[in-house]
Amino acid sequence: MIHLPSGQNKARAEKVSLFVTCLVDLLFPEVGLAATRVLERLGVAVDFPPGQTCCGQPAYNSGFHRDAARVARHFIEVFENSGAIVAPSGSCACMVKEYYPKLFAGDPVWEGKARALSHRVFEFSQFLVDRLGVRDLGARYPGKVAYHDSCHLLRGLGVREQPRQLLRGVADLELVTLERSEQCCGFGGSFAVKLGSISEAIADEKIAHLERCGATTLTACDMGCLMHLRGRLSRRNKSIRTVHLAQILAGSNGVDRGETHG
């Protein structure tokens, strides 16, 4: 049972559009399904605008701002009639919320559209806690779980406590303290490709902290981080599981069928 002492009526009145992100759409659809299940169990009406594509972050971060703007205009057109927009990714939510207005700064039409859209974009945990006021979703997940603060979610959106508040509401879950949880995992999109040895070293340091805290599961709100660390864990034959926060919250028996393993 989901416990909503203060947020139930508000949740039932909400309608959201799911911004699924490229990694989730192409590689980890189970995360999008888990996020949808959680929202629908709360009584939130969820739709999926089929015309959505990449938010343009890879192009923007690589300096191709003209190409990023073309993608961003399409994104804005797809979602401009949506109410709240929820993404299971702090990185992509940050791109739309924080960087679209900067990308179109000075444009008499698109800057206003970008700013209007930015106010309606939420990362998944941010929406649950800040918008709906939900802390306990009645989920169960037995084991020691460490939380990794992804860079854009923490530094770009200022989301730190919301995921932890949700994890503390999960039955049988022991939230352990991960040393330097706010330190980058080493992914950084194309950074991991261009500077592979540095990326690998950063990931190994994160894994060392994971092992010291005794976690059996690592969770985060961005599949980019979890994908990167899962790959390194696998190469080093480590058994630590990597699971998106939405999957923990969606699993009625503590383990969502779409979980990923290191």
Distance CA 165, CA 175 (A): 10
Per-residue pLDDT at 196? 61
Q: Average pLDDT in the 90-103 region? A: 96
Look at 87 and 203; give whichever has higher pLDDT.
Answer: 87
Q: Report pLDDT digits (tens) over 166-189.
A: 999 999 999 999 998 888 877 776
| pTM of the full structure | 0.89
Structural domain boundaries of the chain?
A: 8-130, 137-261
Radius of gyration (C-alpha) of the chain in whole angstroms: 18
Same fold across 8-130 and 137-261: yes
Q: How far, in Å, are 31, 203, 246 from residue 51 at the CA level?
A: 19, 35, 23
Q: Say how many Å lie between the first and final Cα of the chain, rounded.
A: 30
Q: Report pLDDT digits (tens) over 25-53.
A: 999 999 999 999 999 999 999 999 999 99
Per-residue pLDDT at 187? 73
Largest Cα span, the chain: 54
Residue 195 pLDDT class (50, 70, 90 cuts): low
Q: Using alpha carbons only, what angle is made at residue 182 by residues 223 and 216, rounded to the nearest 5 degrees?
A: 60
What's the mean per-residue pLDDT of the chain?
89
| Two structure tokens written together for 234 | 């696998």
Q: Average pLDDT in the 3-28 region? A: 77
Percent of the chain with pLDDT over 90: 75
Q: Is the pLDDT of residue 5 over 70?
A: no
The hierarchical CATH code for the domain 8-130 is: 3.40.50
Which fold, 137-261? Rossmann fold (3.40.50)
Strand partners, 146: 176, 218
